[in-house]
A and B are shown apart, each in its own frame.
Chain A
Amino acid sequence: MTVHGEQWLDEEAGPVVRPYALIRGRTRSSADDLDLIAMVTATGAPYTGEAGLGPEEHRILGLCDQPMSVADIASELDLPLGVVRVLLGDLHDQGMISVRAPAQRGPRPNERILKEVINGLRAL
Chain B
Amino acid sequence: MAYEHSEEPVALKILVAGGFGVGKTTLVGAISEIRPLRTEEVLSDRGIGVDDTDGVETKTTTTVAMDFGRITIREGLVVYLFGTPGQERFWFMWDELSYGALGAVVLADTRRLTDCFPSIDYFEQRGTPFIVAVNCFDGAERHEAEDVRIALDLDPEVPVIMCDVRRRASAKVVLVTLVEHALRTLTPAAG
A binding-site residues for B, Cβ under 8 Å: 1, 14, 18-20, 35-37, 39, 66-67, 69, 71-72, 74-75, 78-82, 100, 102-106, 108-111, 113-118, 120-122, 124
Partner of B2, one of A19, A67, A100: A67
Known: A36-B96, A37-B11, A82-B40. A113 touches B80 (CB 8 A): no
B102 at the interface (CB under 8 A from A): yes
Chain B nearest Cβ from A76, distance in angstroms = 8
Verify B38–A78 contact, CB threshold 8 A.
yes
Known: A114-B179, A116-B77. A82 touches B186 (CB 8 A): no
Going nearest first, the 3 A-B pairs with the smallest beta carbon separation are A120-B73, A37-B11, A114-B183
Please, which residue of chain A has its CB at the minimum distance from the CB of B168?
A124
Chain B nearest Cβ from A44, distance in angstroms = 13
B binding-site residues for A, Cβ under 8 Å: 1-3, 8-13, 31, 35-41, 45, 48, 61, 68, 70-71, 73-74, 77-80, 82, 96-97, 99-100, 102, 129, 168, 172, 175-176, 179-180, 182-183, 186-187
Query: Would you mind naming 26 contact pairs between A and B with Cβ atoms under 8 Å apart?
Result: A20-B41, A35-B96, A37-B11, A69-B11, A69-B78, A78-B38, A80-B41, A81-B37, A102-B10, A103-B8, A104-B10, A104-B100, A106-B100, A108-B100, A109-B12, A109-B102, A113-B12, A114-B102, A116-B77, A117-B73, A120-B79, A121-B71, A121-B73, A121-B176, A122-B176, A124-B168
Neighbouring A residues of B176 by C-beta, 8 Å = 118, 121-122
Known: A79-B38, A80-B38, A81-B37. A117 touches B79 (CB 8 A): yes
Neighbouring B residues of A79 by C-beta, 8 Å = 38
